[in-house]
Structure 1
Amino acid sequence: MRSRRRLDDCILMDLFCGEDSGVFSGESTVDFSSSEFVDSWTDNESIACFIEDERHFVPGHDYLSRFLSRSLDASAREDSVAWILKVQAYYKFQPLTAYLAVNYMDRFLYARRLPETSGWPMQLLAVACLSLAAKMEEILVPSLFDFQVAGVKYLFEAKTIKRMELLVLSVLDWRLRSVTPFDFLSFFAYKIDPLGTFLGFFISHATEIILSNIKEASFLEYWPSSIAAAAILCVANELPSLSSVVNPHKSPETWCDGLSKEKIVRCYRLMKAMAIENNRLNTPKVIAKLRVSVRASSTLTRPSTDESSFSSSSSSSPCKRRKLSGYSWVH
């Protein structure tokens, strides 16, 4: 009992050791060409273990249905994920850090319902999950106060965030070293490109695909191995030398035991559909010029009689971030 308590104390010290380290700076890099990196991903047994264990690090099978039935708010989740990605880009965190933060958040929401209030519980959860993920993966971690950037609506005291971190740890049973799609990318890439000629391209582009879709609740239906395989197939289709020999309907399930062809194909199709939709939304639209008559133009440029009253009313209610602390449900 004493040794277990000592172990828990050591873990707590490790988690909170980054609080005084200041703002993160610098960027993590990975040498995809190093022999050490390549050799670490040629072990079929290790990948099989990941596939066997991934079920323990995802929300339950009915998690997606809760969003579809509106038992959980999909838009609130999407906003929280968007904020996590903004902070990840702001501090140049690794993609894995952002993915883990979202994973912790989803697993928490599946196991425990947040109080239904103005929205600050969801923001507090997002801050706590990102802080825990950063402490797991980053060398330098911002202070808890400095995490609260990128347009947050509320400011939380460090002690409140720490209490929320402990609640997340308790709900997740301290299982933070999750299985993620990034554990499979290199192994799957070598199945398509055995010489590793395009390994860096595969990893970077598959990572972009995974992060770009992480906000979409529909992907909660798929486990990390299926997401990784689908992303690798999407990247392969971008390479002319490989797209002609890659068939998502035949090859994926042969890469390793335990893979589901049906789920990989469905996830692949969803990624392709999302890519088409994103391209459509991001395509610049040509707006026709409106002909404005001289009379209309003069009307538009004439000062409004209500301008002063509007200015005074808007200035009297400036947008402020509320500082919150001390919640009875965070314990």
Structure 2
Amino acid sequence: MPLSSSSSGHPHQGLFSSSASDEHSNDLLLCGEDASSLSDDERLVPLFPPGSKCPAGVDEDVGEEDGNDVAAAWVGIEADHFPEMDYRSRFRPRSGNLDPAARLRSVAWILKVAEFYQFQPVTAYLAVNYMDRFLSRHALPQQPGGWPVQLLAVACLSLAAKMEETLVPSLLDLQVEGARFVFEPRTIQRMELLVLDAVNWRLRSITPFAFLGFFACKADPGRSLTGYLISRATRIILATTEEIEFLGHCPSAVAAAAVACSAREAPALSSISPESAASWCAGLTREGIVNCYQLMQELVLSGSGQHKQQRRSRIPPLQGIKLLGSEVLSSSSSPPSSASKRRKLSSRSWVDDGKGAGRRTEEGDDIN
């Protein structure tokens, strides 16, 4: 079915347009805030918290007491980066107004693109966090093909990559790995502004990766298996993003539960339990970690989640993991070839942001 425009203008006008003229659209990028608008908590949080930039790195120069204080401070503010309280309930089949399948497709696409470009794990997690925070505050219009949800996913991944990656693909090159629509850069940039407004420009979210290295050292004081714990827990954490049930758990609990799950698979660390993980940091709760741990065992590790048929991959068993120390992803170490990175537009829809028309080549439908 073609995407038709209304008589008032472009089909995207209601979602992206502003009262300002195009020649003054750059004014939308200006931020009127100054340092005085930051709260004390925002001033105290490091710009790049240890573990968020490189989850496999553990700073040996930081004392245990200092590490405990920093981790406890993050636990105290992690709820500031949550979606709205009723967000998870809105995915329920009868009473909810959000489509869990659409969210799952978007998350799966984000994970695939992040793997394609070998992004850091925290980049993919942040993109999903931005998407959930946006959807919890704003309703997207229902459109044929579901292009608004894909546009949101592209914008969120772009913002996350700008926050965490040194090399960021262009907005056009970012739209790979099965994207059904191709959006103009200007359209994505406008969506980025909407996302920034929805999250109140607070992009430095506290993620499980901020705690991962610290908790791994707590579980393995001798550090002989710390690299394995981080690598395994990273894969588990990324897999949790596909399940809406984990939206009710804070990042610190997700990190602690993931490390506990990983430790139980290593014979030398089998004594580690989710109950004991509650002692790793002030502010952790035994109940929260145990509940999250049980969900991971049920939905992620055992493959019995409600979306198991749609998952792109399962978490491999211990013997299937190659322990590479600081490496946190088990993807191929060789970069993707230039040929594989070429965008194939013949099977996707071009979504134009100007006055021109696009064509859905896979169905032969014009976008008027």
The equivalent position to 2:296 in structure 1, one of 265, 271, 285, is: 271
1:84 matched to 2:97? The reply is no
- Give the secondary structure class of the aligned counterpart of 1:215: coil
1:287 equivalent in structure 2? none
The alpha carbon displacement at 1:35 in A equals 3.4
Please identify which structure carries the higher helix content. 1
Q: Any stretches of 5+ residues in structure 1 without a counterpart? A: 9-27, 284-317
Conserved 8 A contact 1:64-1:220: yes
Alignment of 1:88-167 (within 5 A): 88-118=114-144, 119-167=146-194
> Equivalents in 1 of 2:102, 2:287: separation in Å?
30
Normalised by the length of structure 2, the TM-score is: 0.68
The alpha carbon displacement at 1:264 in A equals 0.8
1:103-161 deviation digits (Å, cap 9, x = unpaired)? 00000000111112220000000000000000000001011010111111111111000
- Find runs of 4+ consecutive structure 1 residues off by over 2 angstroms: 3-8, 28-36, 38-42, 278-283
The alpha carbon displacement at 1:213 in A equals 2.2
The alpha carbon displacement at 1:34 in A equals 6.1
The alpha carbon displacement at 1:247 in A equals 2.7
CA RMSD of aligned residues (A): 2.7
1:240 matched to 2:267? The reply is yes
Conserved 8 A contact 1:81-1:215: yes
Deviates more, 1:190-199 or 1:204-213: 190-199
The alpha carbon displacement at 1:319 in A equals 7.0
1:324 equivalent in structure 2? 351
> Equivalents in 2 of 1:226, 1:93: separation in Å?
24
- Give the secondary structure class of the aligned counterpart of 1:136: helix
Which amino acid in 2 is paired with 1:95? P
2:253 equivalent in structure 1? 226
2:88 equivalent in structure 1? 64
Aligned residues: 269
Conserved 8 A contact 1:97-1:137: yes
Alignment of 1:180-191 (within 5 A): 180-191=207-218
Which amino acid in 2 is paired with 1:61? M
> Equivalents in 2 of 1:29, 1:100: separation in Å?
14
The alpha carbon displacement at 1:29 in A equals 7.2
Percent of residue pairs identical: 50
Q: Any stretches of 5+ residues in structure 2 without a counterpart? A: 1-29, 36-52, 315-344, 355-368
Q: Of the two, which has the highest radius of gyration?
A: 1
The alpha carbon displacement at 1:276 in A equals 1.1
1:224-252 deviation digits (Å, cap 9, x = unpaired)? 01100110100110111111x2232x312
> Equivalents in 1 of 2:88, 2:110: separation in Å?
20
Alignment of 1:45-60 (within 5 A): 45-60=69-84
Alignment of 1:177-326 (within 5 A): 177-243=204-270, 245-248=271-274, 250-274=275-299, 275-277=301-303, 320-326=347-353
The alpha carbon displacement at 1:190 in A equals 2.0
- Give the secondary structure class of the aligned counterpart of 1:131: helix
